[in-house]
């Protein structure tokens, strides 16, 4: 009788037997699927590309890196956390325990900013990112407005250190400043563009979040208070004094929050310019300006 293949019993064995990258990718996808991944084929491809390269054969070191990554995924560590970086707006952003992962939905804010400030892309604009995290919003905006300078603020020192590294990583460090601040308390001046992805998860809902978010994203960046609107109340009071003439604020919101956030902002003298939907069709970015000023071209 033919002895059963160890690969049939343990697909991860393919990572160590034969050394073929294509076989390892298939085995890794199967192992990830069995571990509960809903995007096993995608994850396997990313892990192979990042940890093993594109050659036809695996060496022992690459195989060991893949095995360790699989073990960590089985323990629930999100894909991008174990790789230590994630792409946003075509740029690479390092992650740390004090930062959220940059997610594609947040690119909607950059799209909105570009749409409304298209005629000002070559002006020396002043940008502000409130709650900068990895710095992804500010850095992406600086990459699109080459004459602009920007300030990112955060209450987390870990996040600020990560944002500074990401500004260096993406070639905009000379135009970016990062401040330790409770929102705008350390900020002076007015800005042509204010960006913010504030914490907006209602406190009672945090325990029910997916484990990848609940256990790995920083609570400071998630918890929006009892109804999820605490940060928006504060922003509504502060934004009118932060916007320069013709300036815009582009704010991220959670599902179902558009009406409440628009009401908060307009009550403080801001005009609602646009609601922009993400790729999933959800209202994700709200655009505001000072109600007493004319809209920029």
CATH number at residue 179: 3.40.50.150
Query: In this model, does residue 200 exceed pLDDT 90?
Result: yes
Q: Check whether residue 97 and residue 134 sit in a common domain.
A: yes
The residue out of 75, 97, 113 marking a domain boundary is 75
In this structure, are 121 and 206 located in the same domain?
A: yes
Q: What are phi and psi of 29, to 5 degrees?
A: -60, -40
Q: Assess whether 102 and 27 both reside in one domain.
A: no
Confidence bin at 296 (pLDDT 50/70/90): very low
Residue 164 lies in a domain: yes
- Do 60 and 95 lie in one domain? The reply is no
pLDDT over 70 for what percent of the chain? 92
Per-position b or e across 69-82, b if 16+ CB within 10 A of its CB: bbeebeeebbbbbb
Helix H or strand E encompassing 63: helix 60-74
Alpha-carbon separation of residue 118 from 72, 268, 276, 297 (angstroms): 43, 27, 16, 8
221, pLDDT greater than 90: yes
Give the end of a domain, one of 47, 75, 103.
Answer: 75
Q: Are residues 21 and 95 in the same domain?
A: no
Which residue range(s) make up the domain with 217?
A: 85-290
Question: How crowded is residue 170: how many other Cβ atoms within 10 Å of its Cβ?
Answer: 21
**Number of domains forming the structure of the chain:** 2
Lowest mean pLDDT among 3-12, 192-201, 225-234, 288-297: 3-12
Q: How high does pLDDT run on average in the chain?
A: 91
296 inside domain: no
Using the predicted structure, report yes or no on whether residue 114 has a pLDDT greater than 50.
Answer: yes
Instruction: Tell me the mean pLDDT in the region 100-112.
Output: 97
Tell me what pLDDT residue 15 has: 61
Same domain membership, residue 247 and residue 135: yes
């Amino acid at each position: 009788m033919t002895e059963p293949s160890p690969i049939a019993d343990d697909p991860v064995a393919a990572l160590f037997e034969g050394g073929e990258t294509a076989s390892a990718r298939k085995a890794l996808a199967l192992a990830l699927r069995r571990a509960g991944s809903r995007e096993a084929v995608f994850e396997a491809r990313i892990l192979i590309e990042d940890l093993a390269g594109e050659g036809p054969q695996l060496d022992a070191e690459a195989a060991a890196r893949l095995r360790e990554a699989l073990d960590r995924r089985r323990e629930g560590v999100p894909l991008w956390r174990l790789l230590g970086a994630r792409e946003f707006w075509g740029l690479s952003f390092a992650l740390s325990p004090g930062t959220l992962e940059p997610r594609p939905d947040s690119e909607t804010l950059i799209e909105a900013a570009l749409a409304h400030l298209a005629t000002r892309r070559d002006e020396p604009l002043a940008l502000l990112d409130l709650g900068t995290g990895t710095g992804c919003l500010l850095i992406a905006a600086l990459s699109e407005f080459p004459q602009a300078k920007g300030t990112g603020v955060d209450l987390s020192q870990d996040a600020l250190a990560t944002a500074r590294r990401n500004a260096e990583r993406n070639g905009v460090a000379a135009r970016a400043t990062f401040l330790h601040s409770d929102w705008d308390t350390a900020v002076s001046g007015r800005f042509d563009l204010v960006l913010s992805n504030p914490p907006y998860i209602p406190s009672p809902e945090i325990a029910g979040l997916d484990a990848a978010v609940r256990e790995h994203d920083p609570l400071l960046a998630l918890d929006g208070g009892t109804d999820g609107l605490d940060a928006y109340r504060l922003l509504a009071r502060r934004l009118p004094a932060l916007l320069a003439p013709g300036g815009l604020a582009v704010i991220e919101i959670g599902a179902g929050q558009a009406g409440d956030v628009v009401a908060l902002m307009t009550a403080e003298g801001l005009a609602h310019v646009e609601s922009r939907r993400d790729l999933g069709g959800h209202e994700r970015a709200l655009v505001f300006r000072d109600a007493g000023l004319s809209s920029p071209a």
